[in-house]
Structure 1
Amino acid sequence: MQLYNTLSSKERAALIEKAGKERLTLSFYKYHHIKNTRIFRNHLFINWNELDVLGRIYIASEGINGQLSVPAENFEKFKTHLDSVDFLENVRLNIAVEQDNMSFLKLKVKVRNKIVADGLDDDTFDVTDKGTHVNAETFNELIEDENTILVDMRNHYESEIGHFKNAITPDVDTFRESLPIIEDDLKEHKEDKKLVMYCTGGIRCEKASAYFKHKGFKDVYQLEGGIIEYTRQVKANDLENKFIGKNFVFDDRRAEKISEEVIASCHICGNPCDTHTNCANEACHILFIQCEECAERLDRCCSDACKEVNALPYEEQKALRKGKVIENNVFKKGRLKEKTNTSPE
C-alpha cells in the first residue's frame, strides 16, 4: 500500500499544468488528544492521496496542523472526509486570499512531537484555558483602544513584509523565542492592559493565549482565524482593513497581498520590495528579500560570493557542500551589514 510520494516536485508540477484544473490552497488546525498518531497519519495519507491532495500536514498527540492544496472539483469530497473524523467535523478551513495551483507539489503527512514548535511543557498549565476569540470587527475596535497592547506572534521575516498598524513585532527567528520575550517586556501590564494577539491562521495564538493567561495576564484576546480569516471578513463585511503589506505564508507562494503598501526593502540594495526568495546557492539557501534588479544581477543569489559558487559546475558545488550542514537561516533585521560584496557595482 502506497504511504509515500512517488513523484518529484518537477513531475507533479508538470501534471498539474497539463491538467489545467483549478486547485484551492487552504489551512486548518485543531488541538485534540490523538492516541495513535501513526495510524491516524496513514489513514489521512491514503484517503487524501486518492483525492490528489498536496501539502504539509503535521500530526502530534496534541492535534493536527495542515496547510494544503486540493483540486477544486474534489473539495466537497475532501470536506466530507474531514467531517467523518469526529474531532475535525466542521473544523474552520482558512481559504487562501490568493490562489496558486503550484502552492504545494507533494503530500507530506508527518508525525511530530508538536504541531507547532513552542518549547512549552504542556503539563505545567491548562492549554484549554485560552484567550477570548474575536472576529475582525471586534478586533478592529479592540486595537483602537488605548488600553490595548497588540502583539504579532509571528517571526521577524513574516512581520517585516506585513503587520497590523501599531503592533509590537518581536525580532525573533522562532515562535518559541517570542514567548519569554513578550512576557518579560509586558510584565508591568498584566492587569491594566488588554493583551491582543494575532498570527497567520490562529494556531500560534491558540497556545500563546493559554500560556500568557497562565503567566498572569488577566485580559487576553486572540484574532479568530488569524490574518487569513480577518482578510476574508474585512472583504465580506466591508470593514476597514488595518493590516498593511503582505501576509507571509509557508508554501511556494511565499506571501499573499493584503494591502497595496510595500513596507519592506530589498536586503541587497535597500529599494522598496517585499518579495522573499531563497538564495540559489544550495550551500546557502538563506531566505531573504530581493528585488528583480538585484535578482538579475546576482543570478538570484544573496551575494557575489554565492553567485560565484552557484556558477560552478554541479559536481564542484556538490564537493564544496560535502560534510557541511546547511542551517535553516533567515535574514534578521539589520543583518545586511554582515554580508559582504552585496552592493551594486
Structure 2
Amino acid sequence: MQLYNTLSAREREKLIEEAGQDRLTISFYKYAHIGNPHILRNHLFLAWNEMDVLGRIYVAYEGVNAQLSVPAENFETFKTHLDSITFLENVRLNIAIEQDNKSFLKLKVKVRKKIVADGLNDNTFDVTNKGVHVGAEQFNELIEDPDTVLVDMRNHYESEIGHFKNAITPDVDTFRDSLDIIEADLAEHKEDKKLVMYCTGGIRCEKASAYYKHKGFKNVYQLEGGIIEYTRQVKANNLENKFLGKNFVFDHRRGERISEDIISNCHQCGKPCDTHVNCANEACHLLFIQCEECAAAMDNCCSTECQEIHALPYEEQKKLRKGKEVSNKIFKKGRSEVLKYKK
C-alpha cells in the first residue's frame, strides 16, 4: 500500500506536460474534531493519489487545511469523495483565479498539531465563537465606514505585493506574531470600532476572530473565503475591486494578479516589481522579489555569493550543502541583509 510519493518533482512535471490535461488549483479548510488524524491522512492520500491530486494538505485533531491541484476531468470525482466525508460535505472550495498546471508537483498529506501554526492555547477560549462572515459587497461597504479598522492577517511578504486599500498590514513574519501586535495596537478601540479582517482564503481569520472576541473586541467581522472568494464575487457580481496588486499564494505560482497596480519593488534594484522568486542556489532558496533584469544579471540568485555557488558543478554544490541547515534563512522571506531594497 503506497502512502508516500514515489516520483520527484521533475518526473511529475514531465508527466503533467505529457498528459496535456488542464488542472484546477483549489484550496479549502474545515475546522472539525478529528478522532484519529493519522487514519484520515492515509485515507486522503490513497484516495487522492488515485485521482492524480497534487498538493499540500495538513490534517490535525482540529481539522483539515488543503491547497492542491486536480485534473479538471477528475474534479467531480474529487468533489464526490469530499462529500462522502461527513465534515467535508459541501465544504467551500476556493478555485484559483489564475490556473497553472504546475502549481503543485507532489502530493503531501501531513499530520500536524494544528492546521495553522497560530501559537494559541485553544482551551482558553471558545474557537467556535467566531466573527461575522461577510461577502464582497458588504465587505466593500464596511471598509468605507470611518468606524472600521481593516486588518490584514497575513505576513509581510504577502501584503507587500498586494492588500486592500487603507488596510493595516502588520510587519510580521508569521501569523502568530500578528495576534498580540494587533491587539495591543487596537486596545483603545475594542468597543467603539468595527474590527474587519481578511486573509488569503479565510482560515487565519476563523481562529483570529474568535481570539479577538475572547479578548474583548465587540464588533468583529471577517471576509468570507478571503481574497480568493472576494475576487470571484467581484467578477461575478460586477462589484468595485478594492484590492491593490497581487494575492500571494502558497504554490509554485506564488501570486495571482488581482489588479494592475504594482505596489512593491525589486529587492535588488528598487524598480517596481511584484514577482516573488526563490534563490536558485538550493543551499539558500531565499524567497524575495526580483525583476527580469536582475534575474538575468544575477542568474536568478539573491546575491553574488549565491551566484558563484550556483555556477559550480551540481556535485560540488551538493558537497557544500551537506550537513548544513538553511531553513532559518529560507524563512527570512525577503529580510536578508544581501537585499538592498527590501521592505
The equivalent residue for 1:232 is 232
Query: Counterpart of 2:239 in structure 1: which amino acid?
Result: L
Distance, in Å, in 2 between the alignment partners of 1:63 and 1:317 is: 40
- TM-score by length of structure 1 reads 0.96
Greater CA deviation, 250-259 or 320-329? Answer: 320-329
CA shift, 1:332, in A, is: 6.2
Residues 265 and 272, structure 2, Cα contact 8 Å, conserved in 1: yes
Residues 103 and 252, structure 2, Cα contact 8 Å, conserved in 1: yes
Query: Counterpart of 2:271 in structure 1: which amino acid?
Result: N
The equivalent residue for 1:105 is 105
The equivalent residue for 1:132 is 132
Asked if residue 157 in structure 1 is aligned to residue 135 in structure 2, the reply is no
The equivalent residue for 2:193 is 193
CA shift, 1:327, in A, is: 2.1
The equivalent residue for 1:310 is 310
Query: Counterpart of 2:14 in structure 1: which amino acid?
Result: A
For residues 73-109 of structure 1, give each alpha carbon's deviation from its aligned partner in whole angstroms, at most 9, with x where no partner exists.
Answer: 1100100000000010000000000000000111111
Distance, in Å, in 2 between the alignment partners of 1:47 and 1:315 is: 38
The equivalent residue for 1:323 is 323
Query: Counterpart of 1:107 in structure 2: which amino acid?
Result: L
The equivalent residue for 1:217 is 217
For residues 255-299 of structure 1, give each alpha carbon's deviation from its aligned partner in whole angstroms, at most 9, with x where no partner exists.
Answer: 000001111100000001000001111121110000000000000
Distance, in Å, in 2 between the alignment partners of 1:17 and 1:71 is: 12
CA shift, 1:6, in A, is: 1.2
Residues 16 and 101, structure 2, Cα contact 8 Å, conserved in 1: yes
Q: Percent identity?
A: 78
CA shift, 1:318, in A, is: 2.4
Aligned CA-pair RMSD: 1.3
Distance, in Å, in 2 between the alignment partners of 1:52 and 1:75 is: 10
CA shift, 1:317, in A, is: 2.1
Distance, in Å, in 2 between the alignment partners of 1:8 and 1:160 is: 32
Query: Counterpart of 1:142 in structure 2: which amino acid?
Result: L
Structure 2: 5+ residue stretches without partners = none
SS at match of 1:100: coil
Distance, in Å, in 2 between the alignment partners of 1:216 and 1:237 is: 35
Query: Counterpart of 2:321 in structure 1: which amino acid?
Result: R
Query: Counterpart of 2:251 in structure 1: which amino acid?
Result: D
Residues 58 and 110, structure 1, Cα contact 8 Å, conserved in 2: yes
CA shift, 1:311, in A, is: 1.1
Distance, in Å, in 1 between the alignment partners of 2:202 and 2:128 is: 14
Distance, in Å, in 2 between the alignment partners of 1:330 and 1:58 is: 19
Aligned residues: 340
Structure 1: 5+ residue stretches without partners = none
Query: Counterpart of 1:150 in structure 2: which amino acid?
Result: L
Residues 288 and 330, structure 1, Cα contact 8 Å, conserved in 2: no
The equivalent residue for 1:168 is 168
Distance 1:318 1:45, change over 3 A: same
CA shift, 1:314, in A, is: 2.3
CA shift, 1:316, in A, is: 2.6
**Mapping 1:1-345, distance limit 5 Å:** 1-328=1-328, 329-330=330-331, 335=335, 338-339=337-338
CA shift, 1:312, in A, is: 1.6
SS at match of 2:327: coil
Distance 1:286 1:228, change over 3 A: same
SS at match of 1:172: coil
For residues 98-140 of structure 1, give each alpha carbon's deviation from its aligned partner in whole angstroms, at most 9, with x where no partner exists.
Answer: 0000001111111000000000000000000000000000000
Residues 61 and 114, structure 2, Cα contact 8 Å, conserved in 1: yes
Distance, in Å, in 2 between the alignment partners of 1:165 and 1:8 is: 41
Residues 288 and 331, structure 1, Cα contact 8 Å, conserved in 2: no
Query: Counterpart of 1:319 in structure 2: which amino acid?
Result: K
CA shift, 1:320, in A, is: 2.4
SS at match of 1:180: helix
Query: Counterpart of 1:89 in structure 2: which amino acid?
Result: E
CA shift, 1:315, in A, is: 2.8
Distance, in Å, in 2 between the alignment partners of 1:170 and 1:7 is: 39
SS at match of 1:247: strand
